[in-house]
Amino acid sequence: MNTDPLSWLDERAAERVDAGLHRDLRPRAALSASIDLASNDYLGLSRHPEVVAGAADSLRRWGTGSTGSRLVTGTTAEHAELEVELAEFVGARSGLVFASGYAANLGAVTALSGRGSLVVSDAGSHASLVDACRLSRARVEIAPHRDVEAVDRILAARTEERALVLTDSVFSADGDLAPLAELHRVTRANGALLLVDEAHGIGVRGTGGRGLVHEVGLAGEPDLIITATLSKAFAAQGGAVLGDERVRAHLIDTARTFIFDTGLAPAAVGAARAALRVLRAHPDMAGRVLARAAEIARIADVGQPDSAVVSVVLGAAAVADAAARECRARGLEVGCFRPPSVPEGTSRLRLTARADLTPAELDTIADVLGDVLAKARGVDAVPA
């Protein structure tokens, strides 16, 4: 008998190394000369003076922590104000702030489904929605990616009275868009709810960055629920569920990730509110993100992106990992998506645009990516 109960971890670790799936934590310095194409700081607001000041002001007034769950002592006046401001921005009727976007998805899906209901999720949905499906205790059906007809068939054939359809608005790995208008049409026709994760949509799509739901004219629909994160375009931390007032009331009473989690820290609330003010004052920022993404896609020789995400598929995990390491060695931070984040054989560099990328930085990006991608693709480097 093996006397080391953790020996199997060594075997799994060796397997991941051989498959190019080992992951390292790489603590970054406060200041770096590297160009960032890896973070989700789409609007470049994480060091914006007004956003930093917003966090610092909340920190001074409320202290370092929220001191408890939202239902005990963890709700401040600023939490309530942020909820109103977020809802108004995206055109929803109400909002509820969670400690993370992940917690918002888990809380919303599990509270709005349960035994005797059906959950239909897009095959490309974010891991937080996947985990929410697993915890929902509902019957779960996975629809092929962006396949509205499949969703319609699944809903029409159900025996359950209640059904919930889940999708990202902008899918995080490929950066493609969900067919929201068509999805809403079939969910409404079948008496179902549609939940849209706008994590990568708000700040990038829609008028002034109000998101894809707003862009396609679905803002405020009572049978559509938005989930969002404050850690991307809003350069803070936390999540939110935005929708009908009845949904908000139900989540306060039943969403376990709301009831039992400590409330979002005041500094994050203050930073998010300040970021929202900056975006309102500069609504052209969303367009600048898309323009920078288009330029990065041209440099990388991939298709025109619909979002801040530029996906450069390289195939094998080891190839993508080597390309990412070479980029980092040359001062360019890039994302590297490998299984289980993406399907086998589709490992990639995930490049994310920022509104504040400068022409000089784009020139450097062109030099580095031109060499690295040529090597990864097995062709001679050519000028970008």
93-151 per-position pLDDT tens digit: 999 999 999 999 999 999 999 999 999 999 999 999 999 999 999 999 999 999 999 99
Helix/strand number for the chain, H first, E second = 14, 11
Output the average pLDDT for the chain: 95
Residues 6+ apart with CB under 8 A from 243: 92, 93, 94, 222, 224, 225, 226
> Which one of 281, 305, 332 terminates a domain?
281
The model's confidence at residue 18, banded by pLDDT at 50, 70 and 90, is confident
State whether 151 and 292 are in the same domain: no
Encode pLDDT of 235-260 as tens digits.
999 999 999 999 999 999 999 999 99
Q: Are residues 298 and 241 in the same domain?
A: no
Domain co-membership, 238 together with 296 = no
Same domain, 178 and 289: no
Residue 169 sits in the same domain as residue 191: yes
- Give residue 381's pLDDT: 47
Both 356 and 217 in one domain: the answer is no
In a domain, 80, yes or no: yes
Q: What is the mean pLDDT of residues 296-323?
A: 96
- % of the chain surpassing 70 pLDDT: 98
Shared domain for 203 and 301, answered yes or no, is: no
Residues 210 and 275 in one domain: yes
384 falls within a domain? no
| Total of domains in the chain | 2
pLDDT of residue 276: 98
Residue 187: alpha-carbon gap to chain centroid: 23
CA distance 66 to 53: 18
- Among 242, 244, 296, which residue's Cα sits nearest to residue 101? 242
Could you read off the pLDDT of 22-41 as tens digits, one per residue? 888 888 888 788 999 999 99
- What is the reported pTM? 0.93
Helix, strand, coil percentages, rounded to 5, for the chain: 45, 15, 40
CATH number of the domain to which 324 belongs: 3.90.1150.10
The CA distance from 215 to 320, in Å, is 34
Q: Does residue 218 sit in the same domain as residue 353?
A: no
Query: Which of residues 256, 281, 306 is at a domain's end?
Result: 281
In a domain, 4, yes or no: no
pLDDT of residue 24: 86
pLDDT value at position 29?
80
pLDDT at 2 over 80: no
Q: Is the pLDDT of residue 317 over 50?
A: yes
- pLDDT confidence tier of residue 380, bands split at 50, 70 and 90: low
> Does residue 176 sit in the same domain as residue 308?
no
CB 349 within 8 A of CB 365: no
Q: Is residue 103 part of a domain?
A: yes
311 shares a domain with 252: no
Q: Are 104 and 227 in contact (CB under 8 A)?
A: yes
Contact 84, 107 (CB under 8 A): no
The string of pLDDT tens digits covering residues 36-70 is 999 999 999 999 999 999 999 999 999 999 999 99
CATH number of the domain to which 198 belongs: 3.40.640.10
The residue segments making up the domain with residue 294 are: 284-377
Indicate whether 14 belongs to any domain: no
> Residue 379 has what pLDDT?
65
Q: Is the pLDDT of residue 384 over 70?
A: no
Q: Which of 81, 7, 30, 11 is nearest to 264 (CA)?
A: 81
Domain boundary among 233, 253, 281: 281
Q: What pLDDT digit, counting tens, does each position of 144-179 carry?
A: 999 999 999 999 999 999 999 999 999 998 999 999
* Residue 197 belongs to some domain of the structure: yes
Cα Rg, the chain, nearest whole Å:
21
Is residue 26 in some structural domain?
A: no
- Domain co-membership, 259 together with 315: no
**Is residue 44 assigned to a domain?**
no
